Every structure is written in structure tokens, then in C-alpha cells.
Amino acid sequence: MSQEERRSAAQGSPAGTVYQSGFANQFATEAVAGALPSGQNSPQRPPLGLVSELVSGTAFAAPRASNRRSYLFRVRPSTHNSPWKETRIPRFLTPPLDFGHYPGPLRWSSMRDDAVPGNFLDGIQTISGNGSPTAQSGMAIHIYNATAPMSGKAFANNDAEMLLVPQTGTLLVTTELGILSISPGEFAVLPRGLKLRVDPVEGPSYGFLCENFGLSFELPELGLIGSHGLANTADFQTPVAAFGNIDDSVELVLKSCGRFWSTHLDHGVFDVVAWRGNWAPYKFDMMKFNTIGSLSYDHPDPSIFCALTSPSSAVAGGNIDFMILPPRWVVSEHSFRPPGFHRNSVAEFLALVQGSHDSRNSAFPPGSFSLHNCWTPHGPDTQTLEIGRKAELVPQKIDDTMVFMLETRFPLEMASGAMAAPQRQINCADGWAGFVKRFPDGE
């Protein structure tokens, strides 16, 4: 067993997936001893015959807390003289989306399809989105079904940072900066412009993909919560340097300003032998999210579930806020415990990764998702309302659940393919039918 395999086994991760701990640290990693130049980034002749390549993920003079850049020491530079030809990925769309805005509640049953033949890119279907990659603002939400590997292909998304949340099936994500294994219950964030391939392992994978056209995700400020809590920095994992297939030809597919381009290279793109910096992919186990909640009565705002934020406006809301609702205790007294009725200025996409959600009935099994646009009223269905009004308020453990939400300040547009999908629950608002009017006598 190699040293790397021993380290993988010790961490309980598949061979080739070894991680460094922390969020946007100044990482330094080498797959071959001595590959990282000592004391500088641009030596006249880098070690082992490598070339030095800088990737700036933010403006050069961005504030230190937000600045992202890495130096890559690789076999060949990313420059090449192969021509680009436009190509298509038919269901992978970029806003503006053709259906436009829809103000009512929307729900879909799981769109998992283990029979669809295709790799990760082929299996992406756009649900919703807003803004524009050209304006560097907004986001897009997609589902994916991956049943085949991206053999001989690599992908770079110059439009967006990508947030990947599998619901079924493990994904092996090979990137320029290392390899990540992502299982249901975890998420990964892949920086804009990073070359990568996404392959299902041990069976098909279905899940969710969020493109972030705005500022890169960062950890929310904790304010009065203090120095730790929510998604703790030590629990983020970034892969160590890894390289392979450096002399094999590859088709590189690029997404740029909503269009797809393809070029054939006579060499591999995963040839980074060492790198240092804080522009890097990472993953997080959502079970490690440290949940904050009420110990007395009522509900705090759902901002307490925020794991990552793409900032936009302190008043109008984030470009994207990514929220995690893991298993947790509910102990509030003389309070209606499920999420109550509400209307928000921000739009909300919610998906169930595992178990059940405490304001939804059995028509919302794992893999299902809902969308409530800006100002769309929603809350407990009638059945949940009646149960919640009469429930005995003993401490309760919501044990089997894993929900994530994407909130955005900008109204979401819909893809017509999602609106016409057979999995759409056309009558989802019927759950609110049968409301019992108790005024003025009460009960």
C-alpha cells in the first residue's frame, strides 16, 4: 500500500482522495516530493521541468479576506493552439430562461432517472435561474442524472462557481487541483474556470447543481453567535495535488457566457503536480453542520441555517445563500413548531436529500424539490398545520432529514422544460386546501 493509500484508508476515503482541512486556507501540496518551488512562485526553471501558472480567482487587488489565487506547477501550460468549435448541451441552459417568472408555488417529485444514458454534462437539466454570467450576478439551478463517466472529456465553467449536491450515488470529481469523492449528505464547491470531470462510481448518481454567477461563496459572518458554529472552517476539505493521464488526448468543453465550446487537445489537462494558494475546490459533510435554534419559544429566521453565502446586498439579500437543515432537536415551548406561514422578499429553492421535511407531507420524498419565488406565500400544509396545533410539546428529535435551501434576492425565472416535466406536482397548492377557519371563536 502506498503512502497515499494508507492516508486515504486512515481517513476512510477512497484511494486517491486525500484532503487538507480548512476553508480557503493558503494550502500547499505536492504529489511528487520537491515539485513545489521553495521560497518563490516563478523560478527561472521550476523543479522537475514543470511550468508555473497563476490562476487569479478574484481581482488582483481584492481585499485579503476575499482574495483567491493559486499557483499551479504543471507539466504543460493551459495555453494551446487547438481551435474552438461551438457545441451544445441541449438541456443545460443559462438565464434568461424561456418560461420566465412564475409567481405561484412549485413542486417536483424526484427527477432521478437511472436509465438515462449519459455522462454528467449530458444529464444536466435546468430548472430555474436569474441574472446573467455576463453581468456576474445571479444563479442557475439544475438537476443532473449521471450514469456514465466523462471518458476522454474535461469541462471548465467560466461562467460560474459550481455547487454540487448529490442525492443518490457517489461522484468522483477529478480536478486540476486534486480529486474529490462526494457522497449523498455532502456538497462540493468547484471554482469558476477549474478544469474537471465528474464521474459516477458504483452506480448512477442524481442530484443538484447550482451555478453561482456572482461573487464566490464565502462563510457567513457569525456576529453574536461568536467564533464558531454553523459550518465550521475545520470541517471543509480540499484535495491534495494529484495528476494522471498527462499524455492522453482529451476533449475540453468550455461554458462561456451561456455558450458551449469544444476543443481537442493532444494531451491531458489534469497535469498539476503541485500547487499552493487558496483558489481551490472543497467539500463539506452536511451532518457536521452545527445547528443553532430556539431554546425557549418561536423560530429564529432561517438565516441560522446559512452555510455559505455569495454576497450581494446586506439589506436586499444575498446573490445566493446556501442553507443546510440537518437532523436536530426541537424544544421550543408554547410555539407552533413546524415552519410557519411566511412571505419573503427573497426567492427560495428547497430540496430534500434524505428522510422527510417537517412542513411537507408524504408527497415530498427524498429527491423532491420546491420553489417559492420572491413574495410567494407558503408554509405548512393543512395536515401539518392541524397536527402542529395539537402536538404535545415535548422535546423532539427530527432524526431522519437532510434539507438544503438556496435563497436568492433576485426573482427566479423558470425553464419551460421544468414546468412541463412529468414530475412537476401541478396540484401542489392543494395541500393548503381545507383550511379550518376558527375566527372568532377560536379552539
Cβ neighbour number for residue 259 with a 10 Å cutoff: 12
3 state DSSP class of 109 = coil
- Grid cell, residue 181, equals 469523492
Q: Shortest approach of Fe ion to residue 258 CB, angstroms?
A: 29
Catalytic residues: 299
CB 215, CB 203: distance < 8 Å:
no
CB 331, CB 377: distance < 8 Å:
no
- List contacts with Fe ion (CB under 5 A): 348
- Grid cell, residue 49, equals 521541468
Q: Shortest approach of Fe ion to residue 379 CB, angstroms?
A: 7
Burial class (CB in 10 A: 0-12, 13-18, 19+), 143: buried
Taking the least distance from each CB to Fe ion, the nearer of 237 and 344 is: 344
Residue 413's contacts (CB-CB under 8 Å, 6 or more residues apart) are 95, 96, 97, 99, 100, 101, 128, 129, 130
Q: Which residue is nearest to Fe ion (CB)?
A: 348
Q: Shortest approach of Fe ion to residue 370 CB, angstroms?
A: 9
Taking the least distance from each CB to Fe ion, the nearer of 150 and 325 is: 325
Q: Shortest approach of Fe ion to residue 348 CB, angstroms?
A: 5
CB 160, CB 148: distance < 8 Å:
no
- Per the rule left: phi > 0, alpha: psi between -120 and 50, beta: everything else, 277 is left
Q: Shortest approach of Fe ion to residue 418 CB, angstroms?
A: 19
Give CA–CA dist 307/330, Å, rounded.
20
Residue with cell 488526448: 249
Nearest to 301 by CA among 407, 229, 398: 407
